[in-house]
Amino acid sequence: MQGLLNRLGMDSKMALGYLGVMLFMMGDGLEQGWLSSYLMDNGLTVQQSALLFSIYGFAVAVAAWLSGVLAEVLGPRNAMIIGLSLFILGTLVFLTVGLPTMNLGVIIPTYSLRGLGYPLFAYSFLVWVTYYAPSDKLGTAVGWFWFAFTGGLNVLGAYYSSFALPVLGEMNTLWSALIFVALGATVAIFLNKEDSNREKKFQTKQEALKYLTKGITIAFERPKIGLGGIVRTINTAGAYGFVVFMPAYMMDVGFTRTEWLQIYGSLWTSNIVFNLIFGIVGDKLGWRNTVMWFGGVGCAVFTVAFYYVPAFMGPNYIAATVVAACFGACLAGYVPLSALIPSLAPENRGAAMSILNLGAGLSTFVGPAIVGAFIGGVGAVGVIWIYTGLYLVSAFLMKFVTLPKSEGIHSTELKAAQ
């Protein structure tokens, strides 16, 4: 088994951690595709539902930023336990008081606790990976992380709900999330074999509190890390924005709602596969070049295609599915950022990852915000070109995110990063 895992680029000591993250994120993401409609069917307005998910997204962004520095200060295991605890606490009150009463004053803070929980759990494990994996395998290691993360959140959770809802109903399906979360946490935190005796690096509380500020100041002390955070924000902004306006556009073209959901599902199915592929490609061709060309330029090309292929070909299911899958693959072209950015600050990897994780959280705001701000004036096609421009900007910014020769990175990456 160990030989097989090594050939796949996954260290056997961390393999259970990846499995645990996938199970945890499956529990976290099982309501993504239907909770909003359920809330509106049970008394909330569209505006109240939008407010709930906006505040939830803000909580995700905050926790994503905190995950890196807390993993550094407390150790990854302890940060993950905090995330698990917040998720369970939020879920218990959300399901026992919030949803039965449909009291927005209870629903918003308790659902937001869930939003604080999963980044602390998952992204703290990502920090753990960046410390443990050897530099010449780091791209592959973070590729496996994003495979597990996205596979659980966007694929397995959705498929599970499609089978569970008709049998269990909405409330029992939500309760079942705790089973997957508890199982994933047990595997990732308590059964993972990696020796974490090295976790704590601070001797006093003052040193630890001072390090918390590193999660902000490092972006200014090392501007390349700040640029990486901007690039990460752009990365998934388009994907989060598409769900706001593309369903209506695709159905105007002639697709059914079911066809659109299948097309969108192909985007994320492709993404989880290419999370692995581009992790490996990044180790071979260079992390920066992979992000620049496959991520930035590739997403720009297929963002345009996502709009214009249906516009010119009509409701051609196969063509639209292929374009969606290509866009999902190019989203994965940004995976090597999770190897490149912490390597720019090897002595402060947690703080560097906080900036990257903050970008991941902010993308949940930026993508939909662009739609809200511009679609009334420029329409769907204008929004598409705004996203396209942002992806090209991200490719341009990557020209400046280079590794210094003094860092202990393998020769292929040094050559490609210069």
Assess contact for 124 and 83: CB atoms under 8 A.
yes
Tell me the torsion sign for CA atoms 292, 411, 143, 211.
negative
Res. 413 pLDDT band, cuts 50 70 90: very low
Domain that holds residue 126: 1-212
Segment 366-383 shows an average pLDDT of: 86
pLDDT, averaged across the chain: 84
Please say if the pLDDT value at position 197 is more than 70: no
What's the pLDDT score for residue 162?
Answer: 79
Please say if the pLDDT value at position 290 is more than 80: yes
Assess contact for 416 and 288: CB atoms under 8 A.
yes
Q: Which range among 102-111, 282-291, 349-358 shows the weakest confidence by mean pLDDT?
A: 349-358
173 and 227, same domain (yes or no): no
Please say if the pLDDT value at position 89 is more than 50: yes
Q: Which range among 152-156, 300-304, 408-412 shows the weakest confidence by mean pLDDT?
A: 408-412
What's the pLDDT score for residue 397?
Answer: 96
Please say if the pLDDT value at position 218 is more than 80: yes
Q: Which amino acid is at 303?
A: T
What's the pLDDT score for residue 127?
Answer: 83
What's the pLDDT score for residue 406?
Answer: 41
123 and 197, same domain (yes or no): yes
233 and 245, same domain (yes or no): yes
Q: Which residue has the higher pLDDT, 29 or 394?
A: 394
CATH number at residue 67: 1.20.1250.20
What's the pLDDT score for residue 415?
Answer: 41
235 and 223, same domain (yes or no): yes
Assess contact for 22 and 172: CB atoms under 8 A.
no
Segment 319-339 shows an average pLDDT of: 94
Segment 172-181 shows an average pLDDT of: 95
Q: Which residue has the higher pLDDT, 269 or 175?
A: 175
What's the pLDDT score for residue 6?
Answer: 56
Q: Which residue has the higher pLDDT, 257 or 356?
A: 356
308-340 as b/e, with b when 16 or more CB fall inside 10 Å?
ebbeeeeebeeebbbbbbbbbbbbbbbbbbbbb
pLDDT, tens digit (0-9, with 9 covering 90-100), for 223-240: 999 999 999 999 999 988
322 and 225, same domain (yes or no): yes
194 and 266, same domain (yes or no): no
Q: What total number of domains does the chain contain? A: 2
Q: Which residue has the higher pLDDT, 355 or 388?
A: 388
What's the pLDDT score for residue 172?
Answer: 95
Q: Which residue, 302, 299, 319, 301, is CA-closest to 310? A: 319
200 and 222, same domain (yes or no): no
| DSSP element (H, E) containing 18 | helix 15-29
For 348, list phi and psi in degrees, rounded to 5: -135, 50
What's the pLDDT score for residue 213?
Answer: 74
pLDDT, tens digit (0-9, with 9 covering 90-100), for 17-67: 899 999 999 999 888 767 877 887 888 876 677 678 778 878 888 898 888
Q: How far is CA 305 from the centre of its chain?
A: 23
Give 418: exposed, middle or buried? Use CB within 10 Å, 0-12, 13-18, 19+.
exposed
Res. 207 pLDDT band, cuts 50 70 90: low
349 and 207, same domain (yes or no): no
**Domain stops at, among 212, 246, 279:** 212
Please say if the pLDDT value at position 410 is more than 60: no
255 and 307, same domain (yes or no): yes
